[in-house]
Structure 1
Amino acid sequence: MPAFADFFQNQAEASAHVQFVYDLAAGHVVFINAAYEQVFQGIRELVNAELPDLLQRLHPDDQAYLAHYWARWVQGPPANEVEVRLLHEGQPHQWFCLTPSYWQDAQGRVLLGGTLRDISVMKRYQENADLFNSRKNATLEILSHDLSGAFIMVQQIAQFLREEVTSPLNSRVPEMLGVLETTSRDSVTMIRELINLEFLTSANTDLKVNRVDVGAVLRVPLDQLQTGQRLLGHVFSYTLPAEPVYANIDVNKFTQVLINLVSNAFKFTPDAGFVAVRIESGPGVVRIYIEDDGIGIPLAMQPYLFERFTKARRPGLRGEATTGLGLALCKTIVEWHYGHIFVTSQEGQGSTFTIEIPRAETVDTPARAGAVEMLG
């Protein structure tokens, strides 16, 4: 047995990640490897004295979150990895992933072990990718709506001229107007198919779930949509929670759900109508409302809205085509996040789509409570 102990200790010492063992009964760290000094700029022999200050440097929104999981880990073998942020004055915060382990000997002595990996580079890459995708998806929706509107107008004018204007004998004007009408209609179809393909492709990729402040990450596409409201032809507004509200979501997929629902609201809301998004915190959940004052949804259609290739599909007010898949995909993605989506609507009075997803687990104490107490 000592040979095995030496082997694993040597492995821990050689690791670039911080590895530690904490004795619950004694209330202190009994082992920490040399990486502690490199990663945290501390002195390993003084780790127990330095630990309170280190915990105070946790991001305020992560202190109660970590304390919640620590309280669970001390009760039995832990299963969850936890990602937390460490603050550095005047520098970007540092991301760590804590992988816990649990061991109890024959005498009942409980040791909690763990590996702390610095995942800052990966997290910043993911944040930048999510930011890019959010802006891209919102911009595509704005451009597709604007271009579709222009092509639909050309199509309608061409159709009007072909029906109302008498052309000279043997004139090719009716033929040219027919070509213009067909080309405009095909262009609208192509634009919508491009957006639908983007949504379908994203929905078929694996989930990349992270604990994020929902209001902060969704502010990006909402800002884009608000900036583009002149092109969209509607009054668009949004409201976010006053305090951070965390949930475990795939930012890219969830952004596309939001944009898809906002796009549907635009489709069925007359020009100069309003579309609004509200994000609120509820007991254990985050709620997202997408509201409009459009034409509403007939009561007979509502039970079928979220079915694939639904018989409730209908063209938009400006002739926008629909595949009947968008709301079904939205429902699937929301359910992947252990959430629910539902609608309330009356004809002529608009619609409200509501998404509810679980909040990331926290304790009952305020989110800014000190995490030092979790080791007391």
Structure 2
Amino acid sequence: MTKFRTKLIIALITLIIFVLVGIGLLLGQLFKSYFLESLNDHLKIVILWSTSIGLGIVLIIIILLGLRITSRYTKPIVEATNVAIELTKGNYRARTKVDKLDETGMLGSAINRLAQNLQELVKTQEMQQDRLKVLIENMGAGLVFIDSRGYISLINKGFIDIFQVSPTDYLYKLYYEVIEQPEISDLIAEVFRTEKKVNKQILIPLFIERKYFVVYGVPIIGTNNVWKGVLLVFHDITELKKLEQVRKDFVANVSHELKTPVTSIKGFSETLLDGAMHNKETLEAFLSIILKESDRLQTLIQDLLDLSKMEQQGFQLAIQELNLHTLLEEVITLLNGKAQAKNIRLELYSKQQHVLVKGDVDRLKQVFINLIANAITYTPPEGEVKVVLLDHGKNVRVHVKDSGVGIKKEEIPRIFERFYRVDRARSRNSGGTGLGLAIVKHLIEAHHGQISVRSELGEGSEFIIELKK
């Protein structure tokens, strides 16, 4: 840069000398013009032309010298400045042209090396960010990061899938305003308060299920003990809890469910053998009860076998194309007598007569018989049960709606559990096994469909099944 400044100063001094010489010549000519009146016209013209040509040459030299300075020094500096501006904007691919190895060339080379280093640094950072993002999004657990002010700044795909939420509803909002579960909010507050790791098992009702999570709350503290925030990790242990609960409850539930019909059969058989069989009316009544309890026992065993078969890995459906409207009409015809016995109006509503889906005819019929029979069972006399078939583009929805007793909100997540009954006395009197809705859920999931429930106590229930066409 010192040589550059020296050359620039020399060029400017030269330019000034030329300008001063030109001005001197001009002044000299003007001064002498007072003495040129005595000269003839020819000499005056010669002197005038000589002066004009001299000044023209000086002007041309000044212009050429200025262009030379601009092209050699100013232009490279402008280009280097533009590249520097592009770098500040994040365009690390920008480069300046280097023609010479002088000072301006060295400046351009230095800026190009800087741009290349920045580009490589950004590329490395982007690769690391991509790896981190892939890891966070596919870690198999829900993750939430809350900054030091309590605002949610990150949620991953696992959390979105678990809680079925939209990122826009959570990001950059205070955690206690958007997280509905008080157990989770309390855990976050405890981490903020104690600045220590906290982990708890939390039971959360989600839609039609109850989910068990191990939630880890970890304080994030940076260098110099700077508080960064709280990281929450949600591990879904629902299946483990279900297996544990099934193992505990299966023997108790089965033995309890088998005990009632077996006790009835044994008791009435003993009574008949003790002499009641000689009374025809008593004999017929007791035998009817024994037959009813035998049917109930058979149904329970068949449901257990069906459920066990569905939970096996090799369970397959006999998939074929079927008309769902026709299938629903057949089911309603089968159950119409049961509805009429209670003066319940049972009707099918559909705008289309041909709604084709792919599925197992027998299994889907089992699903709808179960749901509609339940609706009739839990609907009081003079009520109504509606079956609505709707076409939703690529999907088909079937709504089974009744005007019955309804289900409490806290019981909805449990109704698809094995042996769970909303009203145990009513279910047992109606001959229910407590396995029907568990079978329905398994069959719908085997068809890659979905089942959901809407219900309020005293206002009836609505089961919604969605199947692909």
Tell me whether the two structures share a fold, i.e. TM-score over 0.5.
no
Say which structure is richer in strand. Answer: 1
* Shorter-chain TM band: 0.3 to 0.5
Which is bigger in relative contact order (C-alpha 8 A, separation at least 6)?
A: 1
Structure of larger gyration radius? 2
Tell me the TM-score normalized by structure 1: 0.43
Say which structure is richer in helix. Answer: 2
Tell me the TM-score normalized by structure 2: 0.35
